[in-house]
Amino acid sequence: MRKDIITNFMLINLVLFFLSCSSEPGDIPLNKVVPSPQQIEYQQMELIGFIHFSINTFTGKEWGHGDESPELFNPTELNTEQWVQAAKDAGMKQLILTAKHHDGFCLWQSKFTEYSVKNSPWKNGSGDVVREFVDACRVHGLKAGLYLSPWDRNHPDYGKPEYLVYYKNQLTELLTEYGPISEIWFDGANGGDGYYGGANEERRIDRENYYNWEDIWSYVKSLQPNILIFSDAGPDIRWIGNENGFAGETNWSMINSDTIIVGAADQNYLNTGDPDGKNWVVGECDVSIRPGWFYHESEDSLVKSPQQLADIYFKSVGRNGTLLLNLPPNKKGLISENDIQSLREFRKILNETFSRNLALGAEIKSDNIRYEHEKFSPVNIIDGDKNTYWAADDGIIKNTIELMFDQSITFDIISIQEPVRFGQRISKFTIECLINNKWETVAQGTTIGYKRLLKTENVTTGGIRFNILEINNTPAISEFGLYKSTPAEKTGDKFN
């Protein structure tokens, strides 16, 4: 090699070396199991709504038998924009509509059955609730999801291979004619007695093999690559194992999907997830604002209170899940005033509670800061930006982050978030406070994940220690907050 070339080569290397010293270090190492970008975006929505609306709305049943006349479906003032507005005002970012429930009645003009709105008096048989629903979602900037019950108590072929052709045809209609659908909901309830085209008998299916779920899921993704699929087993979103809206206090976003039989899953496993799970499958907590999933006049006085809804939020979103809250429209085709009132107050409670992070302004330090670099500084956990984070050096297991205050603060809610794009890591932590010059443990927990909310007694303190005690990889925290709940939450008083 010529001498001048060697010198140039060395010079370039020297420049590169200095550049790498001054540039930002990369992110922390990834876990083996991490969410997809769609799953991250999904979980950040936090709050989504369910719309159970069908022939049951008019018969007062929860599960139609499949022989109810389509003529019963006749909402007098149906207004999907009213649904979407109510959901949006409550802070929901997506709505999911029951396009077909177990009774088999279709809310759209399906070419493959007569059991649909096309034989209803509503709009002289030319209406399409699915269309009006997705249109309203789009107008107001909400994502639209659909529920297509695998169980069909109307269809003559249910339980036979022919029904699966029908089922896929319906999926094709819903996923090709209505634009982007963000989530599709596959219910676990399946098989039993029904009308079945007049057979009026009991039909059981082989839950493990009948649907060939893998095949259906890949078909769904071939039609809409960005859609997220919900079922007991995911593959993207899993049922949380109960219909109260409660995730486990320990809740991993990982499970082993292949161990789950849709409709016969271990509910406890779904509730807590699996630290050793191979699949990232976020838990979704479904619950109705009323006792039933469908509207019944007799339940008008049983709408959950704003305080109950706030409690559910803490036990779903605050335990690393999403909250899927059902708002069933009434016979008019509108969400009832009681439900809207409760939703409104619920939103006010959340807004008021989380309006001021009392941790802001604290003097903050950490035992360990990755590379001693500002990219990983603990100040990043109180900057209100979910993308910035504190992290420790690889190999660090236990770490304490300390926040000291000039003036004591009083809080009763702690909020902690992990940057889950790198995976879910923490499995044990405690919170200590400096009270009368002594450090006292005021809260402790296991998993954190996207968000962990903890409630405490009123704590007045000048200092906090957040101790991370067990992890499966380099620990990192994106946000930390201390809040004081609004009096309205405890007393049940209404806002003005």
Under 8 Å between Cβ of 321 and 282: yes
350 phi/psi in degrees, rounded to 5:
-65, -45
Task: Report what 193 binds from Ca ion, ligand FUL, none; CB cut-off 5-8 Å by kind.
Answer: none
Q: Which residue is nearest to ligand FUL (CB)?
A: 189
Chosen from Ca ion, ligand FUL, none, partner binding at 415 (C-beta under 5 to 8 Å by type): none
Cα separation, 82 vs 88, in Å, equals 10
Dist CA 144 CA 79 (whole Å): 16
Measured between alpha carbons, how far is 147 from 46 in angstroms, rounded to an integer? 19
Nearest CB to Ca ion, comparing residues 385 and 493? 385
Closest listed residue to residue 237, CA positions, set 181, 186, 190: 186
Nearer to Ca ion, 345 or 479 (CB): 479
Tell me the CA end-to-end span of the chain in Å, nearest whole number: 83
Residue 319 gets which letter from DSSP? B
Stretch in the footprint of ligand FUL (CB under 6 A) among 11-19, 182-190, 253-261, 487-495: 182-190
Per rule CB under 6 A, is residue 483 in the interface with ligand FUL?
A: no
- The residue number with the shortest CB distance to Ca ion is 388
Three-class HEC string of 411-451: EEEEEEECCHHHCCCEEEEEEEEEECCEEEEEEEECCCCCC
- When the beta carbons of 479 and 489 are compared against Ca ion, the nearer one is 479
Is the CB of 233 or the CB of 381 nearer to ligand FUL? Answer: 233
Q: Please, how many CA atoms are within 13 Å of residue 401, restricted to the half-sphere of its CB?
A: 27
The whole-angstrom separation of Cα 488 and Cα 147 is 35
**CB under 5 to 8 A by kind: which of Ca ion, ligand FUL, none does 380 bind?**
Ca ion
For residue 185, the minimal CB distance to ligand FUL (Å) is 8
Q: Does 286 bind ligand FUL (CB under 6 A)?
A: yes
Binding-site member from 15, 189, 264, 302 for ligand FUL (CB under 6 A): 189
Gyration radius of the chain over CA positions: 26
**Which positions lie near Ca ion, rule CB under 5 A?**
380, 383, 385, 388, 478-479
Q: Is 395 helix (H, G, I), strand (E, B) or coil?
A: coil
CB distance 452 to 466 below 8 Å: no
Residue 71's binding partner among ligand FUL, Ca ion, none (Cβ under 5 to 8 angstroms by kind) is none
- 411 to 306, 308, 454: CA distances (angstroms): 21, 21, 11
For residues 414, 420, 421 and 422, what is the CA-based torsion angle, rounded to 10 degrees? Answer: 120
* Residue 199 engages ligand FUL in binding (rule: CB under 6 A): no
DSSP 8-state assignment for residue 204: -
Site membership for ligand FUL, residue 230 (CB under 6 A): no
Q: From the CB of residue 16, how many other CB atoms can be counted at a distance below 10 Å? A: 10
Residue placing its CB nearer to ligand FUL in the complex, 104 or 188: 188
Does residue number 152 form part of the binding site for ligand FUL (CB under 6 A)?
no
Q: Does 187 bind ligand FUL (CB under 6 A)?
A: yes
Is 119 or 388 the residue whose CB approaches Ca ion more closely? 388
Span from 70-78, 166-174, 187-195, 412-420 in contact with ligand FUL (CB under 6 A)? 187-195
From the list Ca ion, ligand FUL, none, partner contacted by residue 286 (C-beta under 5 to 8 A by kind): ligand FUL
> Which one of 293, 376, 429, 483 is in contact with ligand FUL (CB under 6 A)?
293
Q: How far is the CB of 202 from ligand FUL (least distance, A)?
A: 17
- Least Cα distance to 391 among 425, 415, 363, 414 occurs for 425
Q: Select the span of 88-96, 186-194, 300-308, 328-336 touching ligand FUL (CB under 6 A).
A: 186-194
Cβ proximity to Ca ion, 46 vs 489, nearer residue: 46
The residue ranges that bind ligand FUL (CB under 6 A) are: 62, 187-189, 286, 293
